[in-house]
Structure 1
Amino acid sequence: MVWRWLVVTVTALAVLAGGGTVAWRHYTGTVDQMDLLGEAARDSPPREITIETAPRLPGGPIASREAAATDAADEQPGRNILLVGIDARPGEDEAGARADSIIVVHVSAGGDRAWLVSLPRDTKVEIPGYGTDKLNAAFSAGSRSGGRAGGFALLATTVRRLTGLAFDAGAIVDFTGLRRIVDAVGGVDLCVDVETVSVHIGWDAKGRQTPPFRLIPPTFRPERIAGVRPQVYPVGCRHFAGWEALDYVRQRELLPDGDYGRQRHQQQLLTALASRITSAGVLGNPLALNRTLTAVGESLTFDGNGRSVTDWVLLLRGLRPDAVTMLRTNGGRFNAAVRNGTAFEQLDPTTLSLFEFARADRLDAFAEEHPDWVIAPS
């Protein structure tokens, strides 16, 4: 799921706010480091990049596909990080894992601003070597022959061709990572903006935990199981334990805006984690900080594209949680199309323009022009 790997940035901030990188170096040995980016790396231009026509960027239009390909390589200002959360439940091997969340992080050239953009996992894409499918299918396809690294590499290449963005780093966190990290910091405070009913966690008449819904294929429509009371998150602000936070940000089936609502909740959780990690309760408590860094290290698979985790901590030392802006794709509205009986999401022209702004390191201008695309912190 989404938030586990995002915490690499948050943890870097926490360590630096706590007085330097000496403590962090103690934990880098626990981070699983491997080559993930493949052709999506900044210094590895892909053979072909497909950029759909998008509104031209004021003051700096991209005139052709060839120019877009150039912008997607070494000349792009700023840094781009691809964050992938995989839903690998106990007993599943890596080939069975699914890319449940896909987030592009753009860090400004000055290193003092960042923008998070969640890509709908049902986005219609061309997966190299596999034809047209949903975006999250790229990880599964690549992992069948190449394991976790192969899944990420194929997904990253697909995202690069979709957005035109070359990547400077990538990270994966598995299913259990988020719960472990949230528990390590003592939980987080979140404000629920719409009543959210869990399709995964409920209780039967004897108080035993059991799923309250069946997800019926092929659409995975939820069907209520009689006699099981689902976990419900009512509107309002409250404290979340790790299991609650994980369950809350997994929900999409019963939300009015589906996956867009889940993206919003996931991004809000990141800001809540950032606030918690950089609070005195964690930074000022050696035991809590140790638990947090250990949880992050054990949950993370990382590729710094030639830079170590410590190097990335230093690169991000000027980035503060309040300088992170969360942006919607498609304005948070469904933009579905059906092909051969399968429903896909499509990136609308404004979303394609968003990535054009990102390639030019001008997402601040995009946010000014589209304030309704900015997600408010929880």
Structure 2
Amino acid sequence: MAHAAQIKIPATYIRGGTSKGVFFRLQDLPERAQVPGEARDKLLMRVIGSPDPYGKQIDGMGGATSSTSKTVIVSKSTRPDHDVDYLFGQVSIDKPFVDWSGNCGNLSAAVGPFAIANGLVDLANIPPDGVATVRIWQANIGKTIIAHVPMTGGAVQETGDFELDGVTFPAAEVQLEFMDPAAEEEGAGGSMFPTGNLVDDLEVPGVGTLKATMINAGIPTIFVNAEAIGYTGTELQEAINGDPKALAMFETIRAHGAVRMGLIKHVDEAAKRQHTPKVAFVAKPADYVASSGKPVKAGDIDLLVRAMSMGKLHHAMMGTAAVAIGTAAAIPGTLVNLAAGGGERNAVRFGHPSGTLRVGAEANQANGEWSVTKAIMSRSARVLMEGWVRVPGDAF
């Protein structure tokens, strides 16, 4: 019996923020995977090692967590005033699908460096030393991200002393600007607050009626108060991820919130849309010990936030959820803003399971409607490996 030989595809394995993923140039993918569809999805699933009923992704590049089951496709942009188009695919670990419904804010930090290193940015726009500005079109959500990438000696500078909680080693700082971050989600009418309210009463069967801020910014996110669901906001992963009842509760909140946000028509559809929306819970500052053993003092943060990603409590904070946090914090009256003490603010430092993160946002109100021109935060990125990934030729 003949077996298909493996094929090899140029790829780069990169850590971006507190995530890592496999990056491809669109032109390097096999021809039938250069367009959206079943072939592309099957290829990316095989690269990552999904679907895996064992939940380990041993036979692929994935790391068996939502933060490490990611793929990115980058190409020269066809849009004016943009350098590259960036498409993000969140690969399900145990189910056969790739979720294209949102962005990865963490991996956004690696798109500019990857694009420069792979010849996708016009050399005339790249200074040999200093900071290169890369204008990125985020194709999943139709938004612009501006990456400020440090350059040394004509190459991307990856090493440095910028420390990011949730990442073990320091690296070079990459500043990101998420322009006009209110997500234009299908069914949400392009509104930052799809229900029209800063705070809603969200009825969740088996849980109760929860106060919720539901926002489309960075990524659609449902914020609830920690105390309303029996938490303090100081929890680490093991407090929730080992509790099947808690995980089921969060998924129920997510499904009903998704319906209220107009992202799905029925709660049953949530299972096919794992990447969005996110669920997060907030609380006022409190002392706690981060997962690294480092103490976090209440006086050093504005609020506590914990967020769920792909059915589990995230080990740090998703970059897109950080955009949602910064945006909601800048708008007086949201649950995020109230947890941070209320009032007007253009930046917050929040505590997450791995430590702290600062995010800023510029919010304006006109005719009773809130808008945010941009959200700003710093991440870092580092190439871990480059060369080719191999997959069986009949895998897609």
TM-score range, shorter chain: under 0.3
What TM-score does the superposition give when structure 1 sets the normalisation length? 0.27
- Structure that is richer in strand per residue: 2
**Which is richer in helix?**
1
Please report the TM-score for the alignment, with normalisation by the length of structure 2: 0.26
